[in-house]
Chains A and B, each alone.
Chain A
């Protein structure tokens, strides 16, 4: 039976884009289905009845949901490029940082850019403290994964690319080269990578989208 890989995603979502990055790095052929989250397809609701969210990967008819669960599945199913290290301790460290980014960083970063005016400063301070941990973790490595892009880098693409979009759309600046020289360097290297570059959404379109959706009176011109 021919292999069938479907991915349900949204063009601007960092969560479905990270799955695409992983599939492309592994050289896996897939069919992409763009979802309208205001009008979810019956297929999406069938494949992810619990959360009803994207991304969902469907491999030979069997669905997997939750982006980090999908990334690990991709790494274990298709050989070749490694997204996670082989050593159990290094794997535990990678999983730790991937969880840290999604569980801790995203909310304050978002609130700092798009929250109520009165909440922004505090959220920005919190986001800065959290980004400092990532700056320290990078050390002298080219990528969080070492010499090559790994799962943590892919999860952190939200910082490498989407954060810059939030900053430009909202006028709030978090990731400065003064405070985060290593992280800024890493972000530049990451988005310059051939495979990654091809899988990022169009920047201007994304900026306009965020301005429209979350900007309102708060957005700077």
Chain B
């Protein structure tokens, strides 16, 4: 049976981008379906009835949900090249720990940086800075979070690069000034075709957020 791979996603989702990068790293051909989250398709509701969210990977008709779970699934099924997770169980545990940290700490604070004002925003910025400081510490002098090669943790974090201009603009700070090591790492990741071709232009994401803020009544 032919390998049929479909991805339900939205172009701007930093979660969906993780899956797209993983698919590109493995050279997997797939059908991309852009979802309108204000008008979710029947397919999405059927494939992810619990959360009704993107991304959803549909492999030979069977759905896999949750971006990091999908990336691990891709790594385990297409296991003949470009490993995304380390082979050693301890290194794998560290990779899973940091990916979990990114979801639990980073993803949750970034939204508050561009949707809040005043004191609430200052608190969000402080938390954002603390979190990225920890990440810079973890990166250290390594080329990638995984060490010598691009992997799971890099995939989990680099997709936020397309949103940096949003955080910088509404949070009024510069990632380059505050986190030069992170930016060096970002530039290194962007040398990879899978990342460069997947991440949308920062200004395009910013444009969408400007519209979104108006709709949310923030501006």
Contact = CB atoms under 8 A, between A and B. Distances in A.
Given A65-B97, A69-B100, A76 B92 contact: yes
Contacts of B77: 88
Interface in B76-101: 76-77, 89-90, 92-94, 96-97, 100-101
B90 A73 contact: yes
A70 B69 contact: no
Interface residues of B, number: 22
A32 interface: no
Given A64-B97, A100-B50, A73 B69 contact: no
Contact of B96 (A72, A91, A96): A72
A99 B73 contact: no
A70 B89 CA distance: 10
A95 B72 contact: yes
B62 interface: yes
Interface of A: 50, 59, 62, 64-66, 68-70, 72-73, 76-77, 88-89, 91-92, 95-96, 99-100, 133
A96 B73 CA distance: 11
Contacts of A72: 92-93, 96
A70 B76 contact: no
Interface centre among B76, B94, B97 (most CB of A within 10 A): B97
A99 B50 CA distance: 12
A65 B59 CA distance: 32
B70 A92 contact: yes
Interface centre among B59, B72, B93, B100 (most CB of A within 10 A): B93
B-side interface mostly: helix
A64 B65 contact: no
A-side interface mostly: helix
A35 B76 CA distance: 37
Given A72-B96, A89-B59, A95-B66, 11 more contacts: A62-B90, A72-B93, A73-B93, A76-B92, A89-B64, A96-B65, A96-B66, A96-B69, A99-B69, A100-B50, A133-B50
B177 interface: no
A89 B76 CA distance: 9
B69 A92 contact: yes
B26 to A, nearest CB: 13
Nearest to B50: A133
11 contacts: A66-B100, A69-B96, A72-B92, A73-B92, A76-B89, A76-B92, A89-B64, A91-B72, A92-B70, A96-B64, A96-B69
B90 A92 contact: no
A183 B191 CA distance: 50
